[in-house]
Amino acid sequence: MSTVSSHVLDAVTGRPAGGVHLTLLRREGDGVFAVVHSGRTDEDGRVADWRTEPGLHRLRFDTGDWFADRGINTFYPEVEIAFRVAGGHHHVPLLLSPFAYSTYRGS
């Protein structure tokens, strides 16, 4: 069994983005992506140790709703990151602003 975690940071304020809804999906044998986990980041902007099987995954962040709750218009209503889980732990951070985002494989 593998695990996936994430940390979302608001790059404008330099603070954690608590309350961002995100969904972890895994590609099934028929090629369709199925929801594995869904939840919100905690006050520190984190989701920790969601269990999953190896394979192709997508992590979807509902950024539009998060920004809208703060009265901010954003160009990206959602961010979806595709990555391959090969066993062990995978950390997928997201640095977020209304008109840009970046990600990398964390540790």
Give the model confidence (pLDDT) of 85-94 as tens digits: 998 999 999 9
pLDDT level of residue 46 (50, 70, 90 thresholds): very high
Closest C-alpha among 4, 12, 77, 14 to residue 39: 4
| pLDDT digits 0-9 by tens, 56-66 | 999 999 999 99
pLDDT at 12 over 90: yes
The binding site comprises 7, 46, 104
Confidence of residue 69 (pLDDT cuts 50, 70, 90): very high
Q: Which of 68, 62, 60, 47 is nearest to 5 (CA)?
A: 47
Please give the annotated binding residues for substrate, written as ranges. 7, 46, 104
Q: Round to whole Å and give the CA distance between 86 and 55.
A: 6
Domains of the chain as residue ranges with CATH: 2-103 (2.60.40.180)
Rounded to the nearest integer, the mean pLDDT of the chain is 97
Instruction: State if pTM tops 0.85.
Output: yes
Per-residue burial over 5-24, b = 16 or more CB atoms within 10 Å of its CB, e = otherwise: ebbbbbbeeeebbeebebbb
Percent of the chain beyond pLDDT 90? 97
Assess whether pLDDT exceeds 90 at residue 107: no
